[in-house]
Amino acid sequence: MSLSRPSGLRRRATTLGLAALLSALATAPAALAAPNPDAVSATAPARPDRTAGTGLSDVGVLAHFDRAAGQVAESIAVEPGGSVVIGMISARQVVRVARDRALQVLATMPLPPDGGTTTPVVGAPDVTGVARSDRGAVYFLYSSGQGGMTGIWQLRRSGEPRLVVPLPADTFPNALVIDGERHRFLVTDSAGGRIWQAPLSGGKATVWSADPALAPAGFFGANGMKIHDGAVWATNSDHGTIVRLPVTENGGSGRAEVRARGLEGIDDFDFTGRGTEILAAINQSSKLVRVDADGAHETLLDADDGMQGTTAVIVRGNRVYVTNGANLAGNDPTLMLAKLQRR
């Protein structure tokens, strides 16, 4: 959850402070920031001392968002024409950033009847993961606690969202993945430390995995998620890990294997196209790191490059999209773009 997700191994006092901040953001007006005509300026080239493995160059800002209005940029779905759909946590919005950097609100979710104060962990309603099907349908996650609106929503062509898969009130759905091969949704539940599955046609959700490797340690457990190499991969923010869960022949879940450690506050991630090499967003420390197949990791971008509460990353060819929620650090949430350099 890029919420500006409250991501990471936090002690109780820090966790409570973050929950209060999210509640305050949720009550702010949900208006989009105007595009900055100078937004796409290179922030930093690839650093010359980082030569091993995949690197990044031509790092620039595509769009700035308004943190005071709750525009905590969370998740990313890239569309074929080059536009990007983003979930805005506290603004309860799904927005599109076009190729020309124009910003459009696609949906703003209403407050639940109880105001969303019973939303697990954060105490405020949030839009988190977004996904786009091969047919162009846009789906997103909404958490509302006892408000009765938690689940997977579809953005209809009319602009009105509809609930297609309800999820229990005690869940905090965070990452949304479409498993086209098995015609299902997969959703991480950061509060319950589970991965849920549901048919693409909509209907009832069931727990796909509740492996202990997904469990939280006081705050957020399972967070980011991808399908790769015959397995479901997920991050655990509290434990700072990336885990691999093999998919069985009948589509079920095998036992989790921890593939990387020492990534405290990890949020979303994606594969670079080079085996199981990963780019990971570290929300808590505002970094984008490369994680090698053996679990070793190296920082590629940090605060000096414009990282502020880094929440999500997605790789499309040689283009790398990164969102910064600027919740735990800074006040400039952004969508950034970089070029992948495969050395």
| 61-79 tens-digit pLDDT | 999 999 889 899 999 999 9
Give domain 12-341's CATH architecture: 6 Propeller (2.120)
Place of tokens 């920031």: 33
pLDDT of amino acid 328: 77
Burial code of 112-121, b = ≥16 C-beta within 10 A, e = fewer? beebbbbbbb
> What SS3 state is found at 208?
strand
Average pLDDT, the chain: 87
CB 208 within 8 A of CB 251: no
Q: pTM to 2 decimals? A: 0.86
CA 98 to chain centre: 19
- pLDDT tens, residue by residue, 286-334: 999 999 999 999 999 999 999 999 999 999 999 999 999 998 778 999 9
Q: How many residues does the chain have?
A: 343
The reported pLDDT for the residue numbered 23 is 41
Task: Identify any residues that bridge with 315 across adjacent strands, giving them in sequence order.
Answer: 320
Report residue 39 as tokens: 């937004």
For the chain, the structural domain boundaries read 12-341
- Looking at residue 52, its pLDDT comes to 57
The model's pLDDT over 149-203, given as tens digits with 9 standing for 90+, comes to 999 999 988 778 999 999 999 999 999 999 999 999 999 999 999 999 999 999 9
| Cβ atoms of residues 117 and 124 within 8 Å | yes
d(CA 290, CA 343): 13
Give 109's DSSP letter. Answer: P
Q: Are 245 and 253 in contact (CB under 8 A)?
A: yes
Pairwise CA distance, residues 62 & 38, whole Å: 9
